[in-house]
Structure 1
Amino acid sequence: MSFLEDGFFSANSQRLDLAKTFPTDLKVNLALDNLLLYSDQPTQVTLPADSFNRRFDLEQNWNRNEQWSDRLSVDRLSLRGSYRNLDWTIGRQAIGFGRIVIFSPLDIVAPFAPDAIDTDTRPGVDAVRGVHYFGLGGQVGGTIVFGPETSDNSYLLTLTDNRSGVDYLGIGGILRDREMAGIGFAGSLGTLGIKMEASHYRGKNVGLPGGDLHDDFT
C-alpha cells in the first residue's frame, strides 16, 4: 500500500504454484496469479494491459478502472521434457535471455520494467522452446513465442558458449515482426565480474502512428 498525491492505493497479489514430475522425465507446471487493486482515484492505478506475448486468453478481469479491481490469470501452464542433451518446453512459461540482472539488452521477450520492484517471478509467455547442450556450458536453442496476432510472434535462435572461462552469448531472429541480433559476454577479472551486452533492431512501421521512431536502433 502507498499514497499518491491525491489519494491512497493498495496492490495485493497472491500466487499458487503447482508442479508434477512423471517417471518419463516429463514435468507439468501450473501457476495462478491474482492481483487485487484499490485506488481512491480509479484511473491512477489500473490492471495490467494484455500481453503481446500470449496467444491464449487465460485471464479474467473484474471491475477494470473502478476503485476495486481484480485480475486472475494463468501465469504458467507448460509441459517440459528432455531427451539426451535436448530439453524442450511447450506452453505458458518463463523465458529470459541475458545475464545482467537490472537491465539486460538481451532480455527481449518479456523484460522487467526498469522501475520494477518485484523481479522474482518473470511473467509467463506462450511459447515452444528447445535447447541442445554441448561442451562445457555451451547451448544452442530455438524459441517461438506466440502473440495475439501472427505479426506479434517472435522467432529466435540463441547460442551460448564458454571459452577460457568467459561466456559468449548470441541471439538473433524476428522479434514481433522486427529483425534483431544481439551479442554479449560475461566473465571476471579477479574478484570483479564483468558483463557486456548489446542488441540491434530493424524498425517496424517507422513514421506511422504506433510505429518505431527509427529504421535501425541499438
Structure 2
Amino acid sequence: MKLEFKYRFARIAYLLMLLSVPFSIVKAQKFTVDGYLKDMQTLWKAKDIPLISNNLIHNRLNFNYYATDNLTFHVGMRNRLTWGDFLKLGDALNLGSAFNYADIMKADNGYFNMSWNVADQSPDFILNTTLDRLYLDYSKGKWQVTIGRQRINWGVNLVWNPNDIFNAFSFFDFDYEERPGIDAVRVQYYTGYASSLELVYQLEENFDKMSMAGLYRFNALNYDFQILSGKMRQDLVAGGGWSGDIKGAGFRGEGTFFYNPDSTGSAAQQFVGSVSLDYMFSNSLYLHAAVLFNSKGRTGNFGDINYLLNTDLSPKTLSFARWSLFGQISYPLSPIVNADLAGMVNPIDGSFFLSPTISWNMAQNVDFSFIGQIFNGSSDDEFGNIGHLFNIRFKYSF
C-alpha cells in the first residue's frame, strides 16, 4: 500500500507540474513557452538476461524572454518520470552496486549541477528534473555573446561529429534530440556574409577538465569550410571540416587531431575523421552514407563495450572501432507516415546495428513512432553484447 501511494503521488505531482504550463505556445510580445510531452515504452532483450520492460514520461519546457532587441534570456528544462526494469539493470547485467540508474538519471556534466532526482524511490520509480539550457544571449552588429548553459555544435556531419569537442552526442540516444549543453562563454564575430570567428571557454573545476577553443568559418569554391584549434580536457586539438555538394548530393567531412602532452609516443596522439554523402530524390526518397575512422579504435575484443551505457562520450569515443560504416534510407509512405532504416557496420568483425523506424503524424501536434535498435554479432564483436531494443513512443508538442 505504501509503495502504491508513493507511485500515485509521483504521477499526480508530475501531471500537476505539466498542467501549470499552457498546452499551447504562449505568444506575447516578449515571452514564449513551448515544449512537448512524450510517453515511451521500451522492451530490451539482451543475451543471457530476461526480457526487460521500462516506461518513460518525458516532458520538455522551453522559455524565451526577449528583454530587448539585443538581449534574450533562455531556459530549457527536461522532466523525466521513469519506472520499470531499467532501475534494476545493475542486477540484470550482474553489475550490482557498480551500476546505479538513479546516478545516470541525475548525472550532470556541467560546471554547475543542475540535475536533480526530485523523487527517487528506486527500484520503483525516479522523477528527475534537469536544466540543460540556461543562458543570456546578446547580439549587436557583428558581435554575439552567449553566457551560460548552452549547446555548442561545431560538427558538420549528421551522425558522427569529430569537430564537436564541446557537445558530442550519441546516435543511439534518439530520444534526446536537443542534446546536452555545457556551461560556457561563447563569443562570435561575423566577419562577412558567410564567415565568422568564434571563441569558446568552458567552465570547469580544474584545468585538466576545462576546454577552450577557437573556430573560423569561411566560404570558398561554393563550399563552407571551418578550422579549429584549442584544448579539450587534457588534449590539445586541431581540426577542420567542410560542407558542400557534388551534383546535388550533400558532401560533408570533418576531422580532429588530439595530442596529450602528458603522454608519450603513439599513446599521445589520436585522429578521428568522418566523411558523408546524402541525397534526396524528387520523389522524397532520401539516402545517406558515412564512414568514420578512429586511429585508436579497436580491431577486435569488444566484449566489454556497450554503447548504451557509455557515460564518457567525447569525439574520441564516437566509436570504439577502427572503422565504422553507416547507411540510411528514408521514404514517406504517405503525407503523414514515414519509414526509415538506418544501420552501422563494423567492417572488420562484421557486427552490425539496425534501426528501423516508422513515424506517424496521428493528428495536429501528435506523433507516434516505433523505433527499433537491433545489435548483432558474436560475444567479442563491437555490437555483440548489447541485444535488441524496441521502443513505442507517443509525442504531443505544444
Both proteins in one fold, TM over 0.5: yes
Matched, 1:44 2:89: yes
2:204 to 144, 147, 156: 147
Shift of 1:15: 1.0
Unaligned segments of structure 1, at least 5 residues: 208-212
Partner in structure 1 of residue 43 of structure 2: 3
- Structure 1 residues 2, 119: closer, same or farther in 2, change over 3 A? closer
Shift of 1:147: 2.8
Normalising by structure 1, report the TM-score. 0.88
CA distance in 2, matches of 1:24, 1:40: 49
Tell me the amino acid that sits aligned with residue 33 of structure 1.
R
Farther-moved stretch of structure 1 (171-180 vs 59-68): 59-68
Partner in structure 2 of residue 21 of structure 1: 66
Tell me the amino acid that sits aligned with residue 73 of structure 2.
V
> SS where residue 214 of structure 1 aligns?
helix
Shift of 1:119: 5.2
Tell me the amino acid that sits aligned with residue 159 of structure 2.
I
Structure-to-structure mapping, 1:1-218, within 5 angstroms? 1-5=41-45, 6=50, 7-40=52-85, 42-44=87-89, 46=101, 47-48=104-105, 50-52=107-109, 54-61=110-117, 62-63=119-120, 66-118=123-175, 120-203=177-260, 214-218=267-271
Farther-moved stretch of structure 1 (81-90 vs 31-40): 31-40
> SS where residue 267 of structure 2 aligns?
coil
- Structure 1 residues 64, 105: closer, same or farther in 2, change over 3 A? farther
CA distance in 1, matches of 2:249, 2:234: 38
Identity of counterpart residues, as a percentage? 21
Partner deviation per Cα, 1:152-203 (whole Å, 9 max, x = no partner): 1111100100012111111110111211111111111221111111101013
CA distance in 2, matches of 1:9, 1:158: 42
- Structure 1 residues 41, 114: closer, same or farther in 2, change over 3 A? closer
Normalising by structure 2, report the TM-score. 0.50
Shift of 1:217: 0.4
More helix as a share of residues: 2
**Is the 2:108–2:114 contact (alpha carbons within 8 Å) kept by the matching residues of 1?**
no
Farther-moved stretch of structure 1 (118-127 vs 97-106): 118-127
Tell me the amino acid that sits aligned with residue 117 of structure 1.
F
CA distance in 1, matches of 2:86, 2:105: 16
Shift of 1:70: 2.2
Tell me the amino acid that sits aligned with residue 21 of structure 1.
Y
CA distance in 2, matches of 1:125, 1:10: 28
CA distance in 2, matches of 1:105, 1:64: 38
**Is the 1:200–1:216 contact (alpha carbons within 8 Å) kept by the matching residues of 2?**
yes
**Is the 2:112–2:183 contact (alpha carbons within 8 Å) kept by the matching residues of 1?**
yes
Shift of 1:133: 0.5
Shift of 1:51: 3.5
Shift of 1:39: 2.2
Farther-moved stretch of structure 1 (65-74 vs 186-195): 65-74
CA distance in 1, matches of 2:121, 2:206: 24
Unaligned segments of structure 2, at least 5 residues: 1-40, 91-100, 272-398
